[in-house]
Amino acid sequence: MNISLPVDRRLWPEDVAQSRAHVRMLAEAGIISEADRDAVLGALEAVERELKGGGFPFREDDEDIHMAIERRVTELAGESGARLHTARSRNDQVATDLAMFTRARATEAAALVSALMDSLLNAAERHLDWPMPGYTHLQRAQPVYLSHHLMAYFWMLERDRVRLRFAAEQADSLPLGAGALAGVNFPTDRRQVAHDLGFERVAPNSIDAVSNRDFALDFLSAAATCATHLSRLGSELVLWSSDEFGFSRLPDAWSSGSSIMPQKKNPDAAELLRAKAPRLAARLVALHGVLHGLPLTYNKDLQEDKEHLFDAVDTLELCLTAARGMVEGVRFDRDRLAAASADELLAATDVADLLVRRGMAFRQAHGVVAGLVRFALEQGRSLSELTPEELAGHSELLDDDYYEVLRQGAWLESKVSEGGTALPRVREQLELARRTLAGEVAAGASAPLEASR
Ligand code: ARG
């Protein structure tokens, strides 16, 4: 139960890098001799080679990767090796490895998010003016352009990227040098170690340094939200690629056949995007559970942080890669999308707005149009088949412009408000998105107000 090696052995690159920085600093500060330093660095070199090549001689009683590496360094470098752990505790050591790991993986996840955003933006540009139905309650509500719909995911992911980068920043404070909890009895130079390992700051309080796992919480929180976004994308891809919708076809690489029904093509990967999300949320909650009520400073409970973090890292990277593959390979059916968005009833709000422009209060207009829709449905006729006389019976304000409003396409191009689906607005959005990806706009979902005033 005590042994964590099977889980934490993947921290070996961080542990080796940290030990190198540590012994360099110890020698610089005159705490160990240069000969000892060189012997340890030589042994670390060999250990790295063994770990990389899979030839590292792990032993039954290696408790964790930190103990295993130190044991091996001591085997190889003798008494010099036994000096490696001078002025260091496994408490600040493990916190440091984990911070390095989190910083790197959060940065990598943010890069995968950027790549997916780029794929979405390209897909939006390819389908700029393809009408499709927009939904509320999974009922056709108002038509939008497919580009506009795809871009909704772009902006979700932009927020994810901000959160992942925040997690990386939170992990950018060096715990090493805190010792077990109180600091160490040697004149160490923590700033040198921080500089060596690329940390932005030195943790200012040794007690907090060994107890802190907030950066892991921040990563898990960002990962859980991102996975939730991907689950919504997965869910829509599943719906869209069903025969019932028929809006899209997923690439073969991201679908699979049925083992018994030869006609079927199942959207497995998209379904998994849906189902992986709760797992990340669970990892976040689990780590909160580990940390909650935990007295300062190090408690063995903290060993349980890694499995949650590692699983979240792996799952998120997998989901982001799969989502990108699907976005790049999905083929949309323009005719099906257009047919589904040609239903005149989707223009009901536009007819109400016509009445509003003629001076009627919106609530009243809503009632008039509801009456019109009921009237048309009862007679099995479409809205544009109603005669001018019938219209006048519902409201005198309904004239020939009514037919103009029902003309297809007018309902999309009338959505001119900033962030709306009218093409000039979508183009504006795509432009902002390009600049966001290029790093020209400060992180966030919209241009700052001052810029346009
Ligand atoms: N395997 C431990 C962990 O991952 C390392 C720290 C052990 N420290 C200690 N005081 N027992 O948390």
Is it the case that residue 445 has pLDDT exceeding 60? Answer: no
Maximal CA-CA distance, the chain: 102
Contacts for 453 with CB less than 8 Å, ≥ 6 apart: none
Poorest-pLDDT segment among 73-87, 117-131, 252-266, 267-281: 252-266
273-296: average pLDDT? 98
75-80: average pLDDT? 97
Four-residue CA torsion sign, 248, 250, 255, 260 = positive
Residue 453 vs residue 333, higher pLDDT: 333
Instruction: Give the pLDDT score at 159.
Output: 97
Instruction: Give the pLDDT score at 446.
Output: 56
Instruction: Give the pLDDT score at 137.
Output: 97
Instruction: Give the pLDDT score at 447.
Output: 58
Centre of ligand 1 to C-alpha 90, Å, is 6
Dihedral, CA atoms, 108, 112, 118, 123, nearest 10 degrees?
Answer: 180
CA distance 177 to 91: 10
Q: Which residue has the tokens 């130190």?
A: 70
Poorest-pLDDT segment among 44-48, 156-160, 244-248, 398-402: 398-402
Poorest-pLDDT segment among 186-190, 265-269, 316-320: 265-269
CB 91 near ligand 1, within 6 Å: yes
Instruction: Give the pLDDT score at 326.
Output: 97
Instruction: Give the pLDDT score at 257.
Output: 78
Dihedral, CA atoms, 185, 188, 193, 199, nearest 10 degrees?
Answer: 70
**pLDDT band, very low/low/confident/very high, at 36 (cuts 50, 70, 90):** very high
Residue 426 parent element (H or E): helix 423-437
Average pLDDT, the chain: 94
Q: What are the pLDDT digits (tens) for 336-353?
A: 999 999 888 888 888 898
**pLDDT band, very low/low/confident/very high, at 444 (cuts 50, 70, 90):** low
Residue of 137, 259, 417, 452 marked catalytic = 137
149 assigned to active site: no
Written as one letter, the residue type at 399 is D
Instruction: Give the pLDDT score at 443.
Output: 63
110-132: average pLDDT? 98
Q: What are the pLDDT digits (tens) for 197-217?
A: 999 999 999 999 999 999 999
Instruction: Give the pLDDT score at 265.
Output: 83
pTM above 0.85, yes or no: yes
Instruction: Give the pLDDT score at 348.
Output: 86
Is it the case that residue 451 has pLDDT exceeding 60? Answer: no
Is it the case that residue 407 has pLDDT exceeding 90? Answer: no
Centre of ligand 1 to C-alpha 88, Å, is 13
Instruction: Give the pLDDT score at 416.
Output: 94
CA distance 63 to 70: 11
CA distance 12 to 206: 24
Residue 392 vs residue 323, higher pLDDT: 323
- Which of 291, 303, 306 has most ligand 1 atoms within 8 Å of CB, for mutation? 303
CB 70 near ligand 1, within 6 Å: no
Is it the case that residue 8 has pLDDT exceeding 60? Answer: yes
Give the HSE-up count for residue 384: Cα atoms under 13 Å, Cβ half-sphere.
13
Centre of ligand 1 to C-alpha 300, Å, is 6
DSSP assigned state of 298: -
Instruction: Give the pLDDT score at 449.
Output: 67
Instruction: Give the pLDDT score at 349.
Output: 85
Cα-based distances in Å from 252 to 178, 249, 255, 328 = 53, 9, 5, 12
258 assigned to active site: yes
